[in-house]
Amino acid sequence: MAKATAPKKEVSMEEALWKSADKLRGSVEPAEYKHVVLSLFFLKFASDKFQKQREKIINKYGERFADNRPFYTQDNVFYLPEESRWSYIMENAKQSDIALKIDTALYTIEKTNPVLKGALPDNYYSRLAIDTNKLASLLDEIDKINTDDEENDIIGRVYEYFLGKFALAEGKGKGEFYTPKCIVNLIAEMIEPYHGILYDPCCGSGGMFVQSIKFVEAHRGNKKEVSIYGQEYTNTTFKLAKMNLAIRGISANLGEMAANTFTNDQHKDLKADFIMANPPFNQKEWRAENELTTDPRWSGYDVPPTSNANYGWILNIVSKLSQNGVAGFLLANGALSDDGTELKIRTQLIENDLVEAIIILPRNLFYTTDISVTLWILNKNKHKRTVEQNGQLIQYRERKDEILFMDLRQMGSPYEKKYIELTDLDRKKVTDVYHAWQREGYETAYENKPEFCYSAPKSEVKAKGYTLVPSRYIEFINRDENIDFDTKMKSLQTELQDLLKAEEESKQELLDVFKELGYEIKL
Read off the pLDDT of residues 87-126 as tens digits, 9 standing for 90 and up.
999 999 999 999 999 999 999 998 888 888 888 888 889 9
Q: What percent of the chain has pLDDT over 90?
A: 50
Mean pLDDT of 311-340: 96
Mean pLDDT of 506-521: 74
Q: Is the pLDDT of residue 164 over 60?
A: no
pTM above 0.85, yes or no: no
> Which residues sit opposite 276 in a β-bridge?
328
Residue 31, pLDDT score = 67
b/e sequence 376-401, b meaning 16+ C-beta within 10 Å: bbbbbbbeeeeeeeeeeeeebbebee
What mean pLDDT value characterizes the chain? Answer: 86
**DSSP strand pairing (373-379 vs 196-200):** unpaired
- Residue 265 vs residue 178, higher pLDDT: 265
User: The dihedral of CA 186, 37, 150, 205: what is its sign?
Assistant: positive
Tell me how far the alpha carbon of residue 393 is from its chain's centroid.
31
Domain ranges of the chain: 13-148, 164-472, 482-516
- The predicted-structure confidence for 54-88, as pLDDT tens digits, reads as follows 999 999 999 989 989 889 888 878 899 999 999 99
DSSP 440: T
Fold equal for 13-148 and 164-472 = no
Residue 255, pLDDT score = 92
Contact predicate 468/358, CB 8 Å: yes
Q: 164-472 has which CATH code?
A: 3.40.50.150
Mean pLDDT of 236-260: 85
- The predicted-structure confidence for 191-209, as pLDDT tens digits, reads as follows 999 889 999 999 988 888 9
Range with the lowest mean pLDDT among 116-130, 191-205, 374-388, 423-437?
116-130
Q: Which SS3 state, helix, strand or coil, does residue 36 take?
A: helix
DSSP 251: -
Residue 168, pLDDT score = 38
Q: Is the pLDDT of residue 171 over 50?
A: no
Count of other CB atoms within 10 angstroms of residue 345: 25
**DSSP strand pairing (321-332 vs 272-277):** parallel
Q: Is the pLDDT of residue 492 over 60?
A: yes
Residue 11, pLDDT score = 58
Give one DSSP letter per residue of 264-320, joined into a string.
Answer: S-TTTT--EEEEEE-PPTT-SS-S-TTSSTT-GGGTTSPPPPTT--HHHHHHHHHHH
| Superfamily for the 13-148 domain | N6 adenine-specific DNA methyltransferase, N-terminal domain (1.20.1260.30)
Residue 152, pLDDT score = 60
Mean pLDDT of 350-370: 88
Q: How far apart are CA 287 and CA 309, in angstroms?
A: 8
Q: How far apart are CA 210 and CA 249, in angstroms?
A: 10
